[in-house]
Amino acid sequence: MWLNKIAAIKQRKTIIIVFSLVTIILGISCFNSVSDDKTKRIDDKGIFANASESNKESKPLQTTMVPESFSALAEMASPAVVNIQTVRTAKTKNMSRQFHGGPFSDDDQMNDFFNKFFNQDQQREFKQRSLGSGFIIDKEGYIVTNNHVVQDSDKIKVILKNEKEYNAEIIGRDPNTDLALIKIKDENSLPVLNLGDSDALKVGQWVVAIGSPFGLEHTVTAGIVSAKGRVIGSGPYDDYIQTDASINPGNSGGPLLNMNGEVIGINTIIIAGGQGIGFAIPINLARGIVDQLKKHGDVTRGWLGITIQNLPADLSEYFRIEGGKGVLVSDVIPGDPADKAGIRPKDIITKINGQKIDSSRTLLKIVAEMGVGKNVKINILRDGKEKIFNVEIAKRTDGKIASKTDSLKGEPDEIGIRVANLTPEIARRYDISEKEGVIVIAIDPDGKAAEAGIVPGDIIKEINHQSVKTVREYTEVLNKVKNKPLDIFLWRDKGGYVLVKIPN
């Protein structure tokens, strides 16, 4: 009897244990099912995606995964990347050595002897060595690098990854964009890099830099495109790719590559003390320059003969146009193409050959790349009306604009300035290209005009949209708008047109 009870109890325990095990197994399976489902959703929608089904119509976030390795790209590209070593002659002044009053003070021959060997015209020459990088662009041995790597070099040595050395010659240089083309000779076929499309780059894409930082040949670093179209004040054609791929002294002239191993930039500039901030010249900008250097040894750029400036919000409002549409002509050089065509200061250029102009940099780049002698169609706004001019592109030449260093004296008027007619004598004295308006010749430092930012040398062109060409007109207009807010439209040396507001 009691044996039967024991058997029944054991049977019940067995059932309970089996049921518990089944429950645990089912629980684990359900947990794994839920976990697998969440993981899948994270993989599909990106790490910031919500795993809930509340927003079923949202599109998956397309993410670019970190490459498992850059080794294949580095192995493919490195043979065409070169180390550049240059030697240039530099001069330094010696400390002057005098032997007067010494034991040979009366011996001209001994003095001549010592002066010859110790003074040597107060200068000494020494050899300065520097390092850089570059990359081969065709099997003929043409190599792209930076101008500052090879400028003023007496000797250029190029070393390939296989440690083969060559003497190189300079084919051409362009200091304006800091680009240079050099060449080596080899009877055998040389490795080359293909050029990519820098316009297709997107911020956040992976890039690889190869070069010789601090002389460490063929160093490979990786990063992303941090920004495009950077203007850093290095020259008139600033248009840099910013990257956080490690770039150091010696990387200059080396390639910045996309993940296909194509050159999309030339590493050029780093910010001192700024870790992870490097700049590369876009290959699409360099391509045309390199072609000109290869064909002609120098670069010819187009020129209209105008000074232009962007349209900030206040000037856009003053001219009653939408902001960002066009650039303002602040000066026209007499006898140059724009002047011959009829373009004037205060014209607003909106298009060139049908292409919209949204900034001074855009116009400068378009014109620079146009062939000399080519006729272009320029759309402008003048007094709110559109006009079209045909202009023949000339060759750009670099010039220097002098700056004002002093001002005339005079008693300030009711807004705190004194003006004079812009005579030819005053224009020559201040090196002013403007022909119309009145010039500010004195200013009260505590007056309204000074507080608004007007300075001596400014040329007032309009007040509240009324033209001012003489002191009489200036006085008449000022009397008409007494006790009213003033919009003073003026021209400023090296600043172009400026709108100054003086409140009531």
Active site residues: 148, 178, 252
CB neighbours of residue 453 within 10 Å: 14
The label of the residue with tokens 């200091």 reads 175
- Take residue 46 and report the two structure tokens written for it: 């990106």
Vertex 394 angle, CA 388 and 400, to 5°: 110
The label of the residue with tokens 């002044």 reads 93
Separation of alpha carbons 114 and 130, rounded Å: 34
The label of the residue with tokens 């439209």 reads 489
Which residue spans within 146-296 are E strands per DSSP?
155-159, 165-167, 169-174, 179-183, 206-211, 219-230, 240-243, 255-257, 263-270, 278-282
Contact indicator for 440, 460 with CB cutoff of 8 Å: yes
* Sheet strands side by side (includes 142-145): 165-167, 155-159, 81-93, 123-136, 142-145, 179-183, 169-174
User: Helix, strand or coil for residue 365?
Assistant: helix
Q: Is 190 exposed, middle or buried (0-12, 13-18, 19+ CB in 10 A)?
A: buried
